[in-house]
Amino acid sequence: MNETLDAESAEWVRGLAGSGGRREAALARLHERLVRIARGEVSRRGPRLAISGPELDDLAYQAAADALVAILGKLGQFRGESRFTTWAYKFVILEVSAKIGRHFWRHPAVALDGEDWDRLPGWFGFDPVQEAEWRDLLAALRRAVETELTSRQREIFVAIVLNGVPLDALVLRLGSSRNAIYKMLFDARRKLRAALAANGYLPDDCSGGS
C-alpha cells in the first residue's frame, strides 16, 4: 500500500496505523499540526466572519478534533497522491468550512422567506447613473427567475443570491450537500444567462454549455 509514499508520509502512516507509544506520539503530533492549521485558517477567514475571539479559537479546536477523527477513519484511503500532511490538512480546512456554515444559523442575519431584490444593484456593482437601464435588466432577470427556474432552483437562487445565505449554511438548512446545491445553482445560472441573452440583455455565449 505504501510503496509510492515519500519517506515522511510513510512515517506518518506507520505511526498512526501502529500501536502503543509510537501511535500516541504520532496522534499528538498530528493533532498539534491540525490545531495550528485550523487556527491559521480561522484567522485568515476571520475578518469576513461574524465570529471573533474565543469563539473563533473554539471553532478551530473543534475542527481539529473532528478532522483527526476523520483522518484516522480514512487512513487506509490515503494513496500518496500528495504528501500526507497536505491530504490531512484538507480535512481540517473542510471542517473549518462546515463549522462556519453551522455557526451562521446561531445568529442568522437574514430571513429565508424574503426576496431582497434591492440587494442586487450593490452586489453586481451597478452604476446609479445607469439606473434606468439596470432596472429594466433586473425586471428581466426577475421574470426569468420566476418563469425559467424550477421551484428548487428558485429557492436556492433566492437564498444565496437575494438573501445572502452562505452556500455551506444553506447545505445544512436543506440537509443537502455542497455539490448538490452548487449544481442546482449552476443550472439556474445557465438558464438565467440564456434567458437574458435571448432577450438581448447579455451577449450570446458560445462557451456556456448547452
Interacting residue with other proteins among 35, 41, 60, 145 (CB under 8 A): 41
Residues 54-113 that bind other proteins (CB under 8 A): 81-83, 85-87, 89-90, 93-94, 96-97
63 backbone dihedrals φ, ψ, rounded to 5°: -65, -40
- Is 140 a residue that touches other proteins (CB under 8 A)? no
Q: Is the dihedral of CA 196, 200, 202, 205 positive or negative?
A: positive
Return the number of the residue (21 or 143) whose C-beta is nearest other proteins: 143
The rounded distance, in Å, linking the Cα atoms of 73 and 185 is 32
148 versus 155: smaller Cβ distance to other proteins: 148
Q: Which of residues 3-32 bind other proteins (CB under 8 A)?
A: none
Comparing CA positions, the residue from 194, 184, 195 lying closest to residue 205 is 194
Closer Cβ to other proteins, 7 or 19, answer by number = 7
**What region does 159 belong to: left with phi over 0, alpha with psi -120 to 50, or beta?**
alpha
Name the DSSP letter for residue 1.
Answer: -
Distance of closest approach, residue 18 Cβ to other proteins, in angstroms: 23
Could you tell me the smallest distance in angstroms from the CB atom of residue 165 to other proteins? 12
